Amino acid sequence: MQPPSLAPDRYRVLSGSALKVLAVISMLIDHTSKFVLAHYPEFVEPWFTMGTIDVSPYWLCVSVGRLAFPIFCFLLVEGFMYTHNRRAYGLSLLAFALISEPIFDLTRKLTVFDITYQNVFFTLLISYLGLCALEGLRDRPVLRACAVLGLALVSMGSLCDYGPRGYAMVLMLYVLRDYPLEKTALGTCITQATWRAGLAFIPINLYNGRRGFIQGRVLKYAFYAFYPLHLYVLWRVRVHLGF
């Protein structure tokens, strides 16, 4: 079932699988530029200045990388809407958050334990619990509000990637799912990356409501596993190059 969109139906050509591939490629470009290529001076040296922005290969790659997180948030909401087992969905997020954390710390700080910052799977897990609270406690408004606000505080205090901005993004995409203009405008404003992250709402509005080729447990978990696996590869590259 297609969610409402700003795009005419004939232009809605991207399946959920296509969005996943786009988000994964965007994330890979972003992390490769931050963890490896940023160590090369020629990569961060500006080509030219555009207003207050120094445009460099690094800036361009990070700009492409801004597409990933809003798309992942959108896919999380779609997954929440259509999963047959919400408990299993949440446990999968928790499992990959725990699996990814030491690899995330290795990639960022070259240590297996760093409590100062947690990987994005924890943000998605907290946001998923917020969706469960919004829907599951619909008939208990006071408890619902307390749960949503409590999880917002958790997202602020847990020092996760994207943190409260990510939590707000997911809940906004759920609440405004049937309001594409408001969803696009507010989603662009939530993230600090402003218009660069707002570009993610172009492919989001081209979503056709179909699952696509990523189906079944193997491909589903392969999609999840790409996050820790690509971080591991980037860590090995950092170690090999001496960064």
- Nearest to residue 81, comparing CAs of 196, 173, 205? 173
Indicate the burial class of 197 (C-beta count within 10 angstroms; 0-12, 13-18, 19 or more): buried
> Which tens digit of pLDDT belongs to each residue from 2-53?
788 989 989 999 999 999 999 999 999 999 999 999 999 999 999 998 888 8
* pLDDT range class, residue 109, cuts 50, 70, 90: confident
CA pair distance 119, 9, nearest whole angstrom: 36
Angle made by CA atoms 26, 30, 36, in degrees to the nearest 5: 140
| pTM for this prediction | 0.92
Calculate the alpha carbon distances from 167 to 21, 77, 155, 161, 190 in Å: 22, 12, 7, 10, 10
- For residue range 140-181, list pLDDT tens digits in order: 999 999 999 999 999 998 889 888 999 999 999 999 999 999
**pLDDT band at residue 190 using 50, 70 and 90 as cut-offs:** confident
DSSP string, 23-72: HHHHHHHHHHHHHTGGGSHHHHS-SEEETTEEE-HHHHHHHHHTTHHHHH
Q: Record the tokens describing residue 199, joined without a space.
A: 């570009």
User: How do residues 119-129 score in pLDDT, each as one tens digit?
Assistant: 999 999 999 99
